[in-house]
Amino acid sequence: MFTPKPIGFVLSPFKEKAGIPKGVGAKHPEEGVLRILPEFEAGLEDIEGFSHLYVIWVFDKAEGFSLKFAPPSEEKLHGVFATRSPRRPNPLALTVVELLRREGASLYVRGVDMVDGTPILDIKPYLSSVPVEKMRRGWVGDAEARKGSKNTGATWGAL
């Protein structure tokens, strides 16, 4: 059995999860810091060459899970695996952030959608071979069209 261990913690302007923008078209321009624990700092070597990073983190405040969920501004239920709900069988999350700079074991980023103190499990460079014109956005794209959103798919928000 795998037991996750945090490699660091998020410093975020969001002290409560209620303050994080959610729903279709939500933007996350806020800046924060990914503070990596000293024993993992060597793993950051060469990360400065990437403009964006995947951050894998834990919904550590989530309780229980639901297999069907109605995201904010949606009335229709969707399967939890078709949403970004924190109420998941395994409370894992994935966020893409823009890397602004590195200072030692601290990564300064834009695009945080996590509560201050959130545990970080992993960081990976953002690489995608899927052209934007080939991406499908499922019910999110339909909801954006209904709302007249101009979201390009670069950020999906924390539904």
Domain locations in the chain?
8-147
CA angle 152, 28, 155 (to 5 degrees): 25
Query: What CA–CA distance (Å, rounded) separates 120 from 8?
Result: 5
Confidence of residue 83 (pLDDT cuts 50, 70, 90): confident
For residue range 142-152, what is the model confidence (pLDDT) as tens digits? 877 887 755 54
Residues 98, 112 contacting (CB under 8 angstroms): no
Q: What's this model's pTM, rounded to 2 decimal places?
A: 0.81
For residue range 55-69, what is the model confidence (pLDDT) as tens digits? 999 998 888 898 998
Looking at residue 158, what is its pLDDT? 37
Q: Which residue has the tokens 């969001």?
A: 14
Q: Which of the listed CATH numbers 2.40.30.70, 3.40.50.2300, 3.40.50.720, 3.40.640.10 matches domain 8-147? A: 2.40.30.70
pLDDT above 50 for 30: yes
State the chain's mean pLDDT as an integer: 86
Q: Is 54 exposed, middle or buried (0-12, 13-18, 19+ CB in 10 A)?
A: middle
pLDDT above 80 for 85: yes
Looking at residue 7, what is its pLDDT? 98
